[in-house]
């Protein structure tokens, strides 16, 4: 196993009883001027908006609502201006990954006088600009991204068809994870979130450090958890155990713990980011379409077969001696599980019915993911076009 350092300072408050008792002080400890960021209407509908406003009624709260799924740089720019004009001390982000990702970039954009897009394009974000950051407190309402306990933010710029992942210096200061708040997430979005969690685990599982059994074992356990509980949450949205298991899995899948010592980069995410950049599709749905096709392509390299066979045996409970057969069965299982959640499984089903942009998307995806050098299996733009074509 390679050397590594691991530190994650996010204070997690998991469960039903933390918000009412602790939100006020969690926010107020950083100051009185609060920027409250949220998305469309889901928190108004669920009553969470009023609850939060009630809890913070003695603080100076300015609001940035309407942050879009696949958050747009225009919202981040609006947040940057609000943060500067009101000299905010703390950001409270309430929503899914899109809201929290936007909040992350705004938190350092407050201290930047240029265009916030600069902080996204620069892969180290505010770090390399040596900017300060406003602390973030968040209330997560959708289990998917892991943003509640990581350094990542993914922002879209529709004017130039770019969706870019960046890193911010600090993970959120405090994340409130109440599974009950996810009971209103619609079935399709629950499917998308669960597929996203599975994809994060898959991207980190297919790694060339074969000696890292700790990470692989943790990933297998988390995969089995998501495979078990996502269908339960879709069938019975108010099943607390299902929502709780999905929520903690989403956090654990991408807070850095299961990827320590990894050597290989991610592949399917950069390819999906291109789909969302050009067609604004739901992230998890795009991953669910591309993942089995990527798997089909990489098992052509027989060095990948032992790990696929391990996945088949431990995660999908398949038996047999032939690694290639097991690998193919694991891919089929992956496809069937995604489809069983009700997710669309081809690009035309999500409105991508012509291949005219595949070349330019493939080139950009290979560049973003450094797939020709850092992928589990190295991919050229032509290989990526083949994955997109196979998804039609």
The answer to whether 317 contacts ligand NZQ (rule: CB under 6 A) is: no
Q: Does 181 bind ligand NZQ (CB under 6 A)?
A: yes
Candidates 80, 189, 297, 338; binder of ligand NZQ (CB under 6 A) is 189
In the complex, least distance from residue 19 CB atom to ligand NZQ, rounded to whole angstroms: 13
283 binds ligand NZQ (CB under 6 A): yes
Residue 159 Cβ vs Zn ion, minimum distance, rounded to whole Å: 23
Candidates 151-159, 167-175, 207-215, 379-387; binding stretch for ligand NZQ (CB under 6 A): 151-159
Q: Which of 78, 101, 196, 274 binds Zn ion (CB under 5 A)?
A: 196
Q: Which is nearer to ligand NZQ, 31 or 265 (CB)?
A: 265
3-state secondary structure the chain: CCCCCCCCCCEEEECCCHHHHHHHHHHHCCCCEEEEEECCCHHHHHCHHHHHHHHCCCCEEEEECCCCCCCEHHHHHHHHHHHHHCCCCEEEEEECHHHHHHHHHHHHHCCCCCCCHHHHHCCCCHHHHCCCCCCEEEEECCCCCCHHHCCEEEEEEHHHCEEEEEECCCCCCEEEECHHHHCCCCHHHHHHHHHHHHHHHHHHHCCCCCCCHHHHHHHHHHHHHHHHHHHHHHHCCCCHHHHHHHHHHHHHHCCCHHHCCCCCCCCHHHHHHHHHHHHCCCHHHHHHHHHHHHHHHHCCCHHHHHHHHHHHHHCCCCCCCCHHHHHHHHHHHHHHHHHHCCCCCCCHHHCCCCCCCHHHHHHHHHHHHCHHHHCCCCCCHHHHHHHHHHCC
Question: Which range binds Zn ion by CB under 5 A, 62-70, 191-199, 241-249, 294-302?
Answer: 191-199
Interface with ligand NZQ in residues 61-100 (CB under 6 A): 69-70, 95-99
Site for ligand NZQ in 248-277 (CB under 6 A): 254, 269
* Residues at the site binding ligand NZQ, with contacts judged by CB under 6 A: 39-43, 69-70, 95-99, 101, 141-142, 144-147, 150, 152-154, 181-182, 184-185, 189, 193, 196, 254, 269, 283-284
- Residue ranges binding Zn ion (CB under 5 A): 196
């Amino acid at each position: 196993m390679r050397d590594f350092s691991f530190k994650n300072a996010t204070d997690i408050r998991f469960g039903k009883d933390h918000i009412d008792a602790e939100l006020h002080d969690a926010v107020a400890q950083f100051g009185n001027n609060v920027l409250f960021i949220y998305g469309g209407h889901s928190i108004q509908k669920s009553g969470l908006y009023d609850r939060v406003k009630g809890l913070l009624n003695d603080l100076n709260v300015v609001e940035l609502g309407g942050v879009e799924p696949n958050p747009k740089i225009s919202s981040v720019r609006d947040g940057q201006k609000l943060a500067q004009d009101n000299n905010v001390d703390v950001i409270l982000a309430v929503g899914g990954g899109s809201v929290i990702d936007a909040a992350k970039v705004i938190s350092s954009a407050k201290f930047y006088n240029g265009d916030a897009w600069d902080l996204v394009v620069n892969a180290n974000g505010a770090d390399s600009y040596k900017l300060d950051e406003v602390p973030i407190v968040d209330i997560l309402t959708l289990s998917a991204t892991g943003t509640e306990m990581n350094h990542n933010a993914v922002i879209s710029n529709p004017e130039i068809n770019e969706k870019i992942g960046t890193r911010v210096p600090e993970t959120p200061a405090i994340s409130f994870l109440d599974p009950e708040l996810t009971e209103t997430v619609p079935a399709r979005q629950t499917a998308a979130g669960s597929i996203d969690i599975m994809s994060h685990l898959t991207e980190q599982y297919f790694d060339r450090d074969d000696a890292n059994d700790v990470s692989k074992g943790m990933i297998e356990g988390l995969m089995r958890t998501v495979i078990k509980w996502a269908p339960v949450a879709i069938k019975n949205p108010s099943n607390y155990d299902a929502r709780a298991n999905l929520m903690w899995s989403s956090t654990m899948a991408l807070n850095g713990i299961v990827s320590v010592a990894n050597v290989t980069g991610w592949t399917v995410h950069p390819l999906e980011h291109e789909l969302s950049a050009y067609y604004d599709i739901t992230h998890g749905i795009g991953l669910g379409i591309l993942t089995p096709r990527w798997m089909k392509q990489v098992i052509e390299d027989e060095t990948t077969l032992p790990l696929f066979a391990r996945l088949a045996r431990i995660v999908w409970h398949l038996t047999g001696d032939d690694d290639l057969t097991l690998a193919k069965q694991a891919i089929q299982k992956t496809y069937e599980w995604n489809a069983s959640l009700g997710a669309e499984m081809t690009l035309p089903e999500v409105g991508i019915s012509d291949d005219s942009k595949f070349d330019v998307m493939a080139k950009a995806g290979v560049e973003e993911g450094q797939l020709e050098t850092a992928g589990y299996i190295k991919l050229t733009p032509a290989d990526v076009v083949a994955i997109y074509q196979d998804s039609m």
